[in-house]
Structure 1
Amino acid sequence: MDHSTHATAHTDHGDGAVTWSTAVRATLHCLTGCAIGEILGMVVATALGWGNVATTVLAIALAFVFGYSLTLFAVRRAGLDLRAAVKVALAADSVSIAVMELVDNGIVVFTPGAMEAQLSDGLFWSTLLGGFVIAFLITTPVNRWMIGRGKGHAVVHAYH
């Protein structure tokens, strides 16, 4: 099945109207990588006593690394060479990860006291996890729109 046929197979009527289920699955995939990287970055940086900017930069960087890695490993298992797999991962996940990171980090940054919270504080975890939930709710329609146009996570479906 070629890329455009496969992307169309994930639509309701073949007119670019992607099912919410497909968008949710794509967003959960993205959220998994982002959450692993971001939580790891926040925990490490907070434990080391890093400042807010360094903590945020590390968390975002690791979110992208882990987010891309999940797709990269999946398409490599499907037989793509490394160069092609990197291109697919970048095309599939860049916008989704960027939106998710903008939203969830914005929530953490703008929640009073969240950036000063320690690992043992409920505010640390509730803000971080709450940010993921809100980011998921905002990123899902973005992914649905992109998949309906053959972009974003739609490019990876040809390799599943």
Structure 2
Amino acid sequence: MDSWRTAISATLHCLTGCAIGEVLGMVLATWWGWGDAASIALAVALAFFFGYLLTFLGVRRSGLGIRQAVRVALAADTLSILVMEIVDNAFLLAVPGAMEATLRSGLFWGSLAVALAVAFVVTVPVNKWLIDRGKGHAVVHEMHGHAHGDSHEQKHGAGHRH
């Protein structure tokens, strides 16, 4: 699989965890009437939690122990989630009224959706850079043993044939 497709896949994975945490955090903070700083802190904490959790669960299913699965999740996702969170929260802060919008507001949901989309676009090249260096989600793809579309020799080694 080429590194751009892998980067897009990794970023979609990251986006899923970030979106779950970000939406849950923003919904709860808005519902509770929290200010901007507390809203962002909760959303970011939950984005990291759910981002790491999705990777952790995936690599655990592939047979890794808990300690190693935690290490892989931290190594694979930290920079990606960090970039995504910086970008989407900066975007939300830049949109007039977005942080004050209520849960019933189109501005709340629209700005959150656009913020996540912008963060995705910015994070894909970051993940490509990591993958090209054998870091980030390249490690996760190795753990799963699926290099989507790679030849049999690339998956199992040139000397291994059935």
Settle same-fold status: TM greater than 0.5: yes
1:84 aligns with 2:62: no
Q: Distance in 2 between matches of 1:23 and 1:80?
A: 23
Structure-2-length-normalised TM-score: 0.87
Kindly indicate whether residue 78 of structure 2 is the aligned counterpart of residue 75 of structure 1.
no
**What's the CA shift string for 1:3-62, capped at 9, x where partnerless?**
xxxxxxx44xxxxxx2x2111101000000000001000001101111111111000000
Equivalenced residue count is: 144
Q: Give the superposition deviation at 1:150.
A: 0.3
The letter for the 1-side match of 2:66 is L
Distance 2:94 2:127 in 1: 25
> Hey, what does 1:34 align to over in structure 2?
18
1:159: Cα distance to partner? Answer: 1.5
Aligned match of 2:111: 127
Aligned partner of 1:58 among 37, 42, 58: 42
Q: Percent identity?
A: 62
Deviation at 1:136, TM superposition (A): 0.5
**Where does 1:113-124 land on structure 2 (aligned, <5 Å)?**
113-124=97-108
Is 1:146 equivalent to 2:133 in the alignment? Answer: no
Specify the alignment match of 2:29 in structure 1.
45
Amino acid across the alignment from 2:126: V
Structure with bigger RCO (C-alpha 8 Å, 6+ apart)? 1
| Offset, 1:157 | 1.0
Q: TM-score, normalised by structure 1?
A: 0.88
Structure 1 runs, 4 residues or longer, greater than 3 Å off: none
> Which blocks of at least 5 consecutive residues in structure 1 are unaligned?
1-9, 12-17
| CA distance in structure 2 between the aligned counterparts of 1:138 and 1:53, rounded to whole angstroms | 23
Q: How far, CA to CA, are the matches of 2:138 and 2:109 in structure 1? A: 32
The amino acid of 2:60's aligned partner reads: R
2:121 is the counterpart of 1:137? yes
Q: CA deviation at 1:86?
A: 0.4
The amino acid that maps onto 2:42 is: L
Question: Could you tell me how far apart the structure 2 residues matched to 1:33 and 1:117 are?
Answer: 23
Question: 2: distance between equivalents of 1:98 and 1:26?
Answer: 14
Whichever residue aligns with residue 62 of structure 1, its letter is: L
Q: How far, CA to CA, are the matches of 1:30 and 1:58 in structure 2?
A: 17
Greater C-alpha Rg: 2
